[in-house]
Amino acid sequence: MRLKFLLRPGWIALILLVGVFSAVCFTVLAPWQFSRNAETQARNDAIRESMHASARPMRQVLPPGSEPTVATEWMKVTFSGHYLPTGETLAWQRTVLGEPAFEVLTPFRLDDGRTVLVDRGYVRPVQGTRAPDYPAPPTGHVTVRARIRTNEIDSEQRPTFRHDGHRWTYAVNSRTVGEGAGMRLSPGYFALVEGQPGVTSALPLPRLESGPYFSYALQWIAFGTMAPLALGYFVYTEVRPPGSSGSPGSSGSPNGSTPSRTTPERRSRRRVSVAEAIAEDERQEREGISRDG
């Protein structure tokens, strides 16, 4: 049985490895990259719409009890209330337009009683890591326009800390800032757009980039396809007859036939024929000599 070698432990392990690898490529890795590509495209679409859409009242987009999601992120909303400067916090180690920056985060009490976190924009550090002097938020009742953002996630879950007379946070996260300020803040935060009361320098929108995720997904599909094909080739090399030269016509004969080869038997016959020819010449010479005599 020509395929009996596949029952050897080494071949069984190889077949299982190829099967698992291909399954992971098709069911995990490629779908994961397709999902990331879809998320990136949805984010780009939301940012494009945010550039041109008008702001809507907060209660229509995020009524009490709701929180920002991927579907509502980047939408522009308007809301009214007053700033709570006692809870102001600076976001540490930020980069805006390719340069170091701090973001100014100030709690804001809405007219409906909720307290949200407002990102008033960014300021540039001075003397290395020191915060510059920047305008305080306006007092009294104001109406502002901002973009909805979901909370950033700090993988280390670090709390706020005090430095140089300010409260700092590593991530723009309403829960972290609220715990540091002793306030209960609603999930998410709101980034002010240019020209709003209390804005420092409005944060620019991120660049629209598709990313490499779609091409990565196609690569995983290709890898998952090539692995079984390679295994099939290895199996073929094991079961093909000895001395097989592959496909017809690949070994030099124009019509695809196997070229003639000099075998030991043919070489032996050739040597016998030469000996017979020499013997025949000697016989003819002897006959000629005898006739002359």
Q: How confident is the model over 170-227, as pLDDT tens digits? A: 999 999 999 999 999 999 999 999 999 999 999 999 888 888 999 999 999 999 999 9
Question: Which helix (H) or strand (E) segment is 175 a member of?
Answer: helix 174-181
The mean pLDDT of 100-107, rounded to a whole number, is 97
More confident residue, 155 or 273: 155
Give CA–CA dist 163/130, Å, rounded: 9
> Rounded to the nearest 5 degrees, what angle is found at the Cα of 245, between the Cα atoms of 243 and 247?
145
pLDDT in tens, 64-73: 999 999 889 9
Spell 35-49 as b/e; 16+ CB within 10 A means b.
ebbeebeebbebbee
pLDDT in tens, 111-158: 999 999 999 999 999 988 899 999 999 999 999 999 999 999 999 999
- Decide if pLDDT at 250 tops 60: no
Whole-number percent of the chain with pLDDT over 90: 63
Q: Which of 14, 22, 40, 36 is nearest to 221 (CA)?
A: 22
- In order, the DSSP letters of 100-145 are EEEEEEEEEEETTS-EEEEEEEEE--BTTTBPPP-PPPPPS-EEEE
Q: What is the pLDDT of residue 206?
A: 85
Question: Given pLDDT bands bounded at 50, 70 and 90, which one contains residue 106?
Answer: very high
Helix (H/G/I), strand (E/B), else coil: 91 = strand
Alpha carbon distances (Å) from 147 to 47, 122, 136, 278: 10, 15, 21, 106
- Decide if pLDDT at 43 tops 90: no
